[in-house]
């Protein structure tokens, strides 16, 4: 079962793997067709909590496009390219 921190890592890893820059959008089709269906009913809350924390922490923002979507902020880009997952960094 994925917890909130695992979901945050997965979402930020998507942007990192795509070498995304400030303003890059999480593709809504990927989110809705490939990512969200992998969540069990008991994990939906972890996804919502993770998104809320990433947005409130300024790493991502909601994009207004008619479908659920997230945009990488300048703070988020700085974080994903200066933070090593291997260092055991905790999310603020």
- Lowest-pLDDT range, 29-33, 44-48, 70-74, 85-89? 85-89
Classify residue 83: in a domain, yes or no. yes
Classify residue 72: in a domain, yes or no. yes
Number of separate domains in the chain: 1
pLDDT band of 87, cuts 50, 70, 90: very low
CATH number reported for the structural domain that contains residue 9 in this entry:
1.10.10
pLDDT band of 65, cuts 50, 70, 90: low
Q: What is the pTM of this model?
A: 0.84
pLDDT average, residue stretch 26-38 = 90
Packing angle between helix 4-17 and helix 74-82, nearest 10 degrees?
Answer: 90
Classify residue 92: in a domain, yes or no. no
Q: Using the CB atoms, write b or e for 35-53: b if 16+ within 10 Å.
A: beeeeeeebeebbeebbeb
Range of the domain at 73: 4-87
**Is 25 within 8 Å of 60 (Cβ atoms)?**
no
Classify residue 45: in a domain, yes or no. yes
**Cβ of 6: how many Cβ atoms within 10 Å?**
13
């Amino acid at each position: 079962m994925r917890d909130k921190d695992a979901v945050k890592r997965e979402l930020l890893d998507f942007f990192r793997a795509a070498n995304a820059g400030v303003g890059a959008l999480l593709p809504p089709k990927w989110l809705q067709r490939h990512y969200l269906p992998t969540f069990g009913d008991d994990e939906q809350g972890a996804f919502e909590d993770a998104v809320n924390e990433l947005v409130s922490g300024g790493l991502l923002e909601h994009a207004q496009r008619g479908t659920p979507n997230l945009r990488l902020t300048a703070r988020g880009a700085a974080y994903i390219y200066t933070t090593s997952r291997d260092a055991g960094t905790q999310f603020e």
